[in-house]
Structure 1
Amino acid sequence: IATKYDDLRIRTLFHRILQLLSSTQPPETASGATLIQCIAQINNENLRQLINCHNQQKYDQIYLLINHITKRLDNEVEQAKINLFQAAKNGPMYGCLSGINALLTIIQDDKYENDEEINQWRILFNHLIELCLEIASLTGPIVSSSSPEGMMPMELTDISGKDDDENSNGQITSQMLLSFGTNWNKIY
């Protein structure tokens, strides 16, 4: 029997996992991907509440988690469309893709038998494919450049007013942008 204390621990862990998946540091995103696999395998009755799923339809936990992370990825892609430099700093996309990839590895494909469940997955996969193609077009100019540095200056001025631990001086470097463009390709 789960207690309120257990629910609080799972909620805290889940929020930390989402932070790790949004990190610009690849080791942190790898940790987030591993932890999201773990939380997906915990039989938590309050998962719907945890990810704010108000739909009454019965969904598999892995589906719910992938769908939730996909929504976060949608936001990061939208941010990249507006400003690639900001996305490199605040919404690197590859963490979300890592988490989705990790969850896809633990799916038991023989578990889904009815057409409704299969259709839900089909819609989600189609959306993920569209997102990956969109990310490829956004990051293509960075990784396809003949220069490994992407023909950018070593320091780019800060475009946002947001300071964070990862780059407290407020500078977005060409290395960050290059890492942003190439790390997602490792997953793709």
Structure 2
Amino acid sequence: MAMRLAMGDWFVLECVAGKDFDVTRKLAAAGYAVWRPLVRVTSTVRESGARKRKPQWKPRFGRYLFLEMAGSESMIWSISTTEGVHRFLARAGSDRPAIVPQEWMDFLRGASALPDRRGIIFTPGMRVRVSAGPFMGSVGRVMGVDSCGSVHIEIHAFGRWIEIPLDSGYLDRLEQCAA
């Protein structure tokens, strides 16, 4: 079992198509913190003439994975030359790998919510009013924020309570509810 390397910054690594699992396994065995999120998808397949829905796990970001490491030149070169690695993602006009801010990683991993354009952080239990769209004027309660940044709220519509995902720009905060 490999020893865990010292924590550092997060980077995005692009792998050769179909090699992301192998690269994840190699880097994890070498002691790096690697995050390759998976999502469950359901696809329809034909088996014995019948159509069946079959759940599968697929990489959320395709052949991209997240790697936490100290960004030294030697580590970057070493990882860049690993079989199956295409490149590190870099800012436009730069050869240096781009660092993913810790706040983004926390958000992507579900640890916290990012503030929207207006600086509002939507937390579970918060009361909100829908300011646009077919549910305009409805008052509801925040149930959570998903990994894509949509705020899931519960409102009373169609004679029952329903949960709907909305962009945070369509919501106005009323007050924070006591948990």
Q: TM-score normalised to the size of structure 1?
A: 0.24
Structure of greater relative contact order (alpha carbons < 8 Å, 6+ residues apart): 1
Determine which structure has the larger helix proportion and give its number: 1
Q: TM-score normalised to the size of structure 2?
A: 0.24
- Flag the structure with larger Rg: 2
Determine which structure has the larger strand proportion and give its number: 2
